[in-house]
Amino acid sequence: MSTPLWASFGPSPSPDRGEDRSKRPFMFGALGLVVLAYAASLNGGWVWDDHILFVDNPALDSPLRLWMESLFGATTGSGNVYRPLVMMTFLPGHILDLGPIFERVVGLSIHVATVCLLARALIGLGARASGAWLLAAVYGVHPGVSEVVAWISARQDLLPGLLTVAAVAAWVHNRRWMAALLLLPTPFCKESFLLAAPAMGIWCLGIRRLHPAVVIPIVGALGYGWMRSRIGLELPAGAVGTDPIGSLGSLALRLPELALWPAGAETFPAHRPSRIVGAIAAVGGVALFAASWGRPRVAIATGLLVLALPGAVAANHTDLLSDRYLHMGMVALVVFASAAVGHRMPPRVLWSLPLGLAFITGMRAWQWTSDVRLFSAAVGHDAENGRAAFHLGHAFHRYEDDCATAVPLYRRGIDSDPRAHTNLQACYVELGDPEAALALTEAASAAQPLNPNPPANGARAAVAMGQIELAERWARVAVERDPLRPRNAVLLGNILGQQGRCGEALPLFRSAIEMDDSTPGAARGLAACKKNLSDQTALPTE
């Protein structure tokens, strides 16, 4: 049986064997609360990025592609996010067609395992079983972690979080090489875990020596970098240079806010750069680093905070400080809290804290069961949030087929997301208001200069208004923007056909059929043009 880490540093109370035998009620209580809090989310559907990553992702049918391209490369053709190991975990459910309920159960299982390992780590750091399970329960049901657990796509944070907490548990029980091996694959789950080696280096301060196992996560980081370079994906490091101190301040503001005001967990928390707070946080980080020497809890928590730092880079890039960016920060706060609890037996009345948190998280988890529920909650949280309004409009438009509800939401989000122009334009076409759609075409095309949909929508609107020449101009723009989209070739072919220019339309219909022989209207347009040309040839000449 391994010696707990705290036993190596001065006098510490010995574990109470009687309490160790009676820890099961605390364990079952903590895990029961976690399962109860997330029960409402288990029967939910695909939400937000889930549709792109799992429903419409052809890479899942060719698993090698998951290792050879960006996370969003197969569906959007762009991006520099590379997380192949996480995507591999979705293959069993995809192959067996088990749907979102299976992935939600897997996600909750990973979280339950993380809670167990966190309790084990806290016991290894000197906490009594009752205190360790209380703190693990607080982490397990805290609304600040709900996005990581209840959102299927957030397994990119959940899985490396499990590996990291397992590494902490191994480390504090003197299984240093095992801890290093657990950290080895974490960068392949998410880029921020490239800092796993520095984090482990800080853990070494707690034991007052640099352990050679630190080499292993370094190898993992180098291997990850090599794979990215091989497939031509650069790290998104450019965002660091914009305002690193201000972004650190945003992170430092959001973490205690999220921890101390659980009801503030939300889908679109604003990125609020603050150089003053960032400078204070930087000084505090240096102080924690210095205080880590010979202090295992401080060293462990400081290393975990390092793993949360890339959230500042992500916030700079997206102007959004998502709750999931702070996952490792929340674990760090629990480790710090264990230092305050120490080896004391916490009063049982403190279990009312995770009970209350579980209630809030239960409501939050329910919101993560559908796009409409999630983004309705975001709009309810902040009615002026244009980004939330856009996403709610998209949810009604795409998943509820309700453009009438979507239109005013798109209007509210038009300054926050350039896609709002295009989606609003498409809704006007669907609602039979081609004049409004056509009026938006210039702005929509300018907002998304590479997207073929705005000019295609404009072409359809112009056809409905009988402006065939204008329709042709916009249809040609759509084909130029994406020559490989067969429906736009059919659109231009139909417009040319209406003008009696079947000689020009014929190759468009043929190319559409070559790209996808099931393209609506392609075969019919080809047949009509052939007949038209045949009739013209058969006409008698004067």
Is residue 157 situated within a structural domain? yes
The whole-angstrom separation of Cα 169 and Cα 174 is 9
What are the pLDDT digits (tens) for 439-480?
A: 999 988 998 888 899 999 999 999 988 999 999 999 999 999
Q: Which positions of the chain have pLDDT values less than 50?
A: 1-17, 538-542
Convert the pLDDT of each residue in 403-415 to its tens digit: 999 999 999 999 8
Cα–Cα distance, 246 to 311 (Å, whole number):
12
The residue behind tokens 């403190």 is: 350
- Tokens linked to 282: 């930087």
Task: Please identify, among 367, 392, 427, the residue that sits at the C-terminal boundary of a domain.
Answer: 367
Asked whether residue 432 is domain-assigned, the answer is no
Dihedral angle at the C-alpha atoms of 279, 281, 287, 289, nearest 10 degrees? -120
Q: Residue 360 forms beta bridges with which residues?
A: none
pLDDT for 364 equals: 95
Q: Does residue 416 sit within a domain?
A: no
Tell me, yes or no, whether 409 lies in a domain.
no
Residue 373 lies in a domain: no
Its pTM stands at 0.88
Residues 362 and 487 placed together within one structural domain of the fold: no
The answer as to whether 379 is a domain residue is no
475 located within any domain: no
Neighbour count for residue 232 (Cβ, 10 Å): 10
Exposed / middle / buried, residue 256 (Cβ in 10 Å: 0-12, 13-18, 19+): exposed
Phi and psi dihedrals of 96, rounded to 5?
A: -90, 0
The C-alpha atoms of residue 168 and residue 180 are separated, in whole angstroms, by: 10
Give the closest residue to 145 by CA, choosing from 33, 46, 313, 288: 33
Look at residue 485 in the predicted model and tell me its pLDDT: 87
- With CA atoms as reference, report the closest residue to 196 among 229, 175, 168, 173: 168
**DSSP per position, 383-410:** TT-HHHHHHHHHIIIIIS--HHHHHHHH
Q: What is residue 239's predicted lDDT score, i.e. its pLDDT?
A: 52
Query: Do 350 and 220 share a domain, yes or no?
Result: yes
Q: Please say which residue of 367, 394, 427 terminates a domain.
A: 367
Chosen domain end from 320, 346, 367: 367
Q: Per the domain annotation, does 431 fall within a domain?
A: no
pLDDT, residue 526, reads 80
Count of domains in the chain? 2
Residues 363 and 488 in one domain: no
Q: Residue 515 sits in which domain range? A: 483-542
For residue 447, the model assigns a pLDDT of 87
Asked if residue 239 lies in contact with residue 119, where contact means CB atoms within 8 angstroms, the answer is: no
